[in-house]
């Protein structure tokens, strides 16, 4: 290609990544502004403005393609989740602790979102690596923003974990490159390799980096401690945005490998998913710290999302997109409630005993959120789980694979078990009597925000038009 053509291709490509460019540019601007205006409110406003501006620059789903010589592939899912990320990101400023964080905090949040956005479209091994690392580094730092000894410890552990995973991933990437001769995921042809044993090792190690990002077994160990000590609004972002992006990326890699013909990988993924659901659910059973409990629950949710990757075709992609979107919203709401409670040092379920005497309304809202996390009507949690299970069942009937059946059974059992720990929260709020005085926890503003958040969960269940529209837009994707 002539230099001129290359340049024009790059310039043309740049117009397609306006979203990411605005995020990066905006984050740098925020950093500069922060040096001048120290007030947190300024950075919050800039943060929201950057996200809103970025949202307007998302290319339409009609305007898709492959850019930067194949390094970035912009698909319908990219379009959808760019919008979702910026939308979800905005809500962080409504958390009760939002004013206590310095401007660097918002800079790092933008960096997480930008890295995740790149993960949505990256298909060059090195770009994938860079995107994951950008997200990870920002996450390591965000973990520390409570500035306590515990959080430093957790942050360092998180860093060491991430470093190990990323070292393994680089090694895996080099193996893949060595065997296939290309760095572009889309151009790899795994069927050509004669003796794939080492290639498979490389593949598994590389996939490990993504498993780390989406907190799947055996790369989930960092999750509970990190979620427990990190600032809650950061956890709300970390548990949603990089995770969804990681799943989209993981699916792209699995599709390139053609997981349905590489049976060993298929089995490994299924086993990882089942183990994730089991460990997440059982781990949550005995937790009394609400944040830690939801962290384990989030691990289990990763297992559910992984199930949607295994179902090919329209039902799979719709199940994934719905689950990811609704999971994001539910988690954001759940962590908002936790954040409000945390503000009054109420993080152990035992502390919530008798809260209904002063906070009956807020307790009711929490109950709805917990019901959504379990996946029962009348919340959107039910809609997505129901659709996912239907899709899994449909896929099982097509392939009659006992692994899929096992997956379905484990997932269903997990829902039953999750009743025990999620409902512990309303149980303590409404049925237990407290020993001491119960003080009111929320102020009217927080109740209003919590109500809006919760109504979204109910509204999406009653009127799933939005979900249907999304399904219409993405069901043509090769999944």
Verify binding: residue 161, another protein, rule CB under 8 A.
yes
Verify binding: residue 192, another protein, rule CB under 8 A.
no
Provide the minimum distance between the beta carbon of 288 and another protein in the complex, in angstroms, as a whole number: 12
Verify binding: residue 260, another protein, rule CB under 8 A.
no
Name residues contacting another protein, limited to 218-247 (CB under 8 A): 218-219, 221-222, 224-225
Contact window for another protein (CB under 8 A) among 107-115, 161-169, 237-245, 370-378: 161-169
Provide the minimum distance between the beta carbon of 341 and another protein in the complex, in angstroms, as a whole number: 24
Which 3-state string (H, E, C) describes the chain?
CCHHHHHHHHHHHHHHCHHHHHHHHHHHHHHHHHHHCCCHHHHHHHHHHHHHHHHHCCCCCCCCEEEHHHCEEECHHHHHHHHHHHHHHHHHHHCCCHHHCCHHHHHHHHHHHHHHHHHHHECEHHHHHHHHHHHHHHHHHHHHHHCCHHHHHHHHHHHHHHHHHHHHHHHHHHHHHHHHCCCEHHHCCHHHCCCCHHHHHHHHHHHHHHHHHCCCCCCCCHHHHHHHHCCHHHHHHHCCHHHHHHHHHHHHHHHHHCCCCCHHHHHHHHHHHHHHHHHHHHHHHCCCEHHHHHHHHHHHHHHHHHHHHHCCHHHHHHHHHHHHHHHHHHHHHHHHHHHHHHHCCCCEHHHHCCCHHHHHHHHHHHHHHHHHHHCCCCCHHHHHHHHHHHHHHHHHHHHCCHHHHHHHHHHHHHHHHHHHHHCHHHHHHHHCCCCCCCCCCCCHHHHHHHHHHHHHHHHHHHCCHHHHHHHHHHCCCCC
Provide the minimum distance between the beta carbon of 33 and another protein in the complex, in angstroms, as a whole number: 37
Verify binding: residue 201, another protein, rule CB under 8 A.
yes
Complex with another protein: residue 57 or 376, whichever CB lies closer = 376
Provide the minimum distance between the beta carbon of 157 and another protein in the complex, in angstroms, as a whole number: 5
Name residues contacting another protein, limited to 384-423 (CB under 8 A): 417, 420
Contact residue for another protein among 267, 412, 431, 448 (CB under 8 A):
267
Verify binding: residue 197, another protein, rule CB under 8 A.
yes
Contact window for another protein (CB under 8 A) among 281-289, 340-348, 402-410, 439-447: 281-289
Site residues, another protein (CB under 8 A): 156-157, 160-161, 164, 168, 197, 200-201, 204-205, 208, 217-219, 221-222, 224-225, 264-265, 267-268, 271, 279, 282-283, 285-286, 318, 417, 420, 464-465, 468, 471
């Amino acid at each position: 290609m002539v230099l001129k053509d290359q340049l024009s291709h790059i310039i043309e490509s740049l117009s397609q990544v306006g979203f990411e460019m605005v995020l990066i540019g905006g984050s740098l601007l925020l950093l500069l502004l922060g040096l001048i205006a120290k007030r947190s409110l300024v950075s919050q406003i800039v943060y929201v403005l950057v996200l809103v501006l970025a949202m307007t620059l998302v290319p339409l789903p009609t305007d898709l393609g492959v850019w930067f010589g194949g390094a970035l592939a912009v698909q319908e899912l990219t379009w959808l989740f760019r919008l979702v990320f910026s939308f979800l990101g905005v809500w962080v400023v409504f958390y009760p602790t939002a004013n206590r964080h310095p401007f660097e905090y918002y800079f790092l949040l933008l960096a997480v979102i930008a890295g995740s956005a790149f993960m949505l479209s990256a298909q060059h091994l090195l770009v994938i690596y860079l995107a994951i690392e950008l997200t990870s580094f920002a996450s390591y730092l965000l973990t520390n923003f409570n500035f306590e000894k515990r959080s430093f410890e957790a942050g360092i552990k998180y860093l060491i974990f991430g470093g190990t995973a990323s070292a393994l991933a680089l090694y895996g990437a080099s193996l893949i490159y060595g065997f296939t001769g290309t760095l572009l995921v889309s151009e790899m042809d795994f069927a050509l390799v004669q003796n794939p044993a080492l290639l498979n090792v490389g593949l598994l190690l590389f996939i490990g980096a993504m498993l780390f990002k989406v907190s799947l077994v055996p790369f989930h160990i960092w999750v509970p401690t990190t979620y427990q000590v990190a600032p809650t609004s950061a956890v709300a972002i970390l548990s949603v945005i990089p995770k969804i992006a990681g799943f989209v990326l993981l699916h792209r890699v699995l599709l390139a490998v053609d997981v349905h013909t590489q049976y060993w990988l298929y089995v490994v993924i299924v086993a990882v998913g089942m183990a994730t659901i089991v460990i997440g659910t059982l781990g949550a059973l005995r937790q009394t710290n609400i944040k830690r409990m939801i962290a384990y629950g989030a691990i289990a949710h990763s297992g559910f999302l992984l199930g949607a990757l295994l179902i090919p075709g329209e039902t799979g992609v719709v199940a994934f997109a719905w689950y990811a979107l609704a999971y994001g919203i539910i988690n954001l709401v759940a962590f908002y409630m936790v954040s409000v409670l945390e503000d009054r040092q109420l993080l152990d379920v035992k502390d919530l005993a008798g809260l209904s005497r002063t906070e009956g309304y807020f307790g009711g809202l929490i109950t709805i959120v917990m019901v959504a996390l379990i996946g029962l009507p009348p919340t959107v949690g039910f809609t997505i789980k129901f659709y996912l299970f239907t899709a899994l069942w449909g896929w099982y009937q097509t392939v009659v694979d006992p692994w899929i059946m096992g997956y379905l059974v484990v997932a269903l059992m997990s829902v039953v078990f999750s009743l025990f720990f999620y409902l512990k929260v309303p149980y303590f709020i409404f049925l237990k009597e407290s020993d001491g005085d119960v003080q009111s926890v929320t102020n009217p503003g927080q109740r209003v925000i919590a109500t809006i958040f919760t109504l979204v969960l109910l509204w999406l269940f009653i009127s799933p038009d939005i979900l249907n529209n999304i399904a219409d837009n993405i069901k043509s994707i090769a999944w």
